[in-house]
Structure 1
Amino acid sequence: MLDSVVNLAHSAVSTIATGVEPAFGPAATAAAIVLFTVAVRLLISPLSWAQIRGARVSPLAGCLPALVQAPFFFLMYRLFTKPGDLLDATLAGVPLGHHLTDGLSLSAVLVYAVLLALLTALARLSARRMREAPVAAAPSPEVERMQEQMRRLMVLLPYGTLAVAAFVPLAAGLYLVTTTAWTALEQGVLRRYR
């Protein structure tokens, strides 16, 4: 069943790539990955917003909506790591199936430098927001200490995307940048209008 869903998603990305090819040329598949990711994130936005609202009450309150979203993220990851024609397409001359560990040509250095710079900026933004987020009053010093330890760990988690980007194909890296930027945008909008 998972393969049929992945194949359906693959068809959607291929259709989008064909539609945007006049505007993006050889980078049409990369653009289609970004557009498809945005479309999926729009579809699951109500779950994301429930997660963000729940996390304001308690980090654990945001877990259920996050768990419901997990299959969508697994699908996207599978789609952009599964060998096939999507990964044969290129971005600035670098195949979307290229891994950072595959070796670095000049074009790969430039593409990955931009990708990792964007992920670093997004991780810093997310970490800063986590540090600045208000913490509920703790009922005891022990709970307060545990909350502080959890907060320190949570501030480091956004940087995990940098490590992931080193081991997944470039297509999955584009997905990571897009979905992380979308999350940052959602959090910013929700903070502004709460």
Structure 2
Amino acid sequence: MDLFAFPPLAFLLDTAYQTLMGISDLLAPLAGAASAALAIVVITLLVRAALIPAGIAQARSEQVRARLAPRLREIQKRFRKNPERMQREMMQLYRDENTSPLAGILPALIQAPIVGLIYAIFLRTTVAGHPNDLLAEHLIGVPLGTSLVASFGAFGIETAIVFGILIVLMAAVAEVTRRVFRPAFPVEPDASPLASVGVQRGLGFLPYLSVVFAAFVPLAAAIYLAVTVTWTLGQRWILRRIYPIE
């Protein structure tokens, strides 16, 4: 079943397509054959700029949770043998301070459908009944609908170079993110299953998920991911200095 056959989703997909085509046409005199790729970069920057207030809220929330860390550890020690009571006390503390352990996930939730739309556009030969001209667009000779994994063994040097640059960039950003933004408010190792050493170590490598996704999605979506993770790192670095965690 094609979800984008439903009128509301078809309209949304066509709107995203027309927006990309419009920006690409505006950028054509400047970027030439790479105008569609540059249009994706522009769209990404506009989305990230619109999410700056959510990023500020996230930074403030991290600052509050860091301030609450001693009290959280006290609750964890006090109710270590009563996990249900411990969770209730922790959630009450969050409510009293008008914050949440899940605060800050809004940017990720908003971006997920945007990446999905870009992914869908570059997988379809037609959009809302008309030909998908974006499939003819490319970056340094690599079609924007090309996926690294899907074309494995058959891609040329240009594909290897373009995807290689994006993946190396994203891996570097992920490593810097992992090192610089370690959890600033650790919990007791036995307070919760999520606090175990193995789980915490696994969570530390979550920034690398974007690198994995980039290998499977079309080049257009990989460009979006590369720009957004780079923006996110810079934004978090700036906001951490405005809202320091002590």
- TM-score range with shorter-chain normalisation? 0.7 to 0.9
For normalisation by structure 1, the TM-score amounts to 0.86
Pairing 1:57-68 to 2, within 5 Å after superposition: 57-58=64-65, 61=100, 63-67=102-106
- How far the C-alpha of 1:65 sits from its partner, in A, is 4.5
Aligned partner letter, 1:50: A
Whether the 8 Å contact between 1:6 and 1:78 is mirrored in structure 2 is yes
Pairing 1:1-194 to 2, within 5 Å after superposition: 1-58=8-65, 61=100, 63-67=102-106, 70-82=109-121, 83=124, 84-101=132-149, 102=151, 103-131=154-182, 133-136=183-186, 138=187, 140=188, 142-143=190-191, 146-147=194-195, 149=197, 150-194=199-243
Whether the 8 Å contact between 1:49 and 1:186 is mirrored in structure 2 is no
Matched residue of 1:63: which SS?
A: coil
Runs of 4 or more consecutive aligned structure 1 residues displaced over 6 Å after TM superposition: none
Structure with greater Cα Rg: 2
Identity, in percent, stands at 30
- Identify, as 1 or 2, the structure richer in helix: 1
State which drifts further: 157-166 or 45-54: 45-54
- How far the C-alpha of 1:42 sits from its partner, in A, is 1.0
Q: Distance in 1 between matches of 2:111 and 2:194?
A: 31
Aligned partner letter, 2:54: L
For normalisation by structure 2, the TM-score amounts to 0.69
Aligned partner letter, 2:100: A
Whether the 8 Å contact between 1:47 and 1:65 is mirrored in structure 2 is yes
Aligned partner letter, 2:173: L
Q: Distance in 1 between matches of 2:9 and 2:104?
A: 21
State which drifts further: 181-190 or 58-67: 58-67
- How far the C-alpha of 1:146 sits from its partner, in A, is 4.5
Q: Which runs of 5+ in 1 are unaligned?
A: none
Q: Which has the higher contact order (CA 8 A, sep 6+)?
A: 2
Matched residue of 1:110: which SS?
A: helix
CA change 1:141–1:21 in 2 (3 A) is closer
State which drifts further: 8-17 or 29-38: 8-17
Q: How many residue pairs are counted as aligned between the two chains?
A: 191
> What RMSD over aligned residues (CA atoms) do the two structures have, in Å?
2.5
Q: Which runs of 5+ in 2 are unaligned?
A: 1-7, 67-98, 125-131
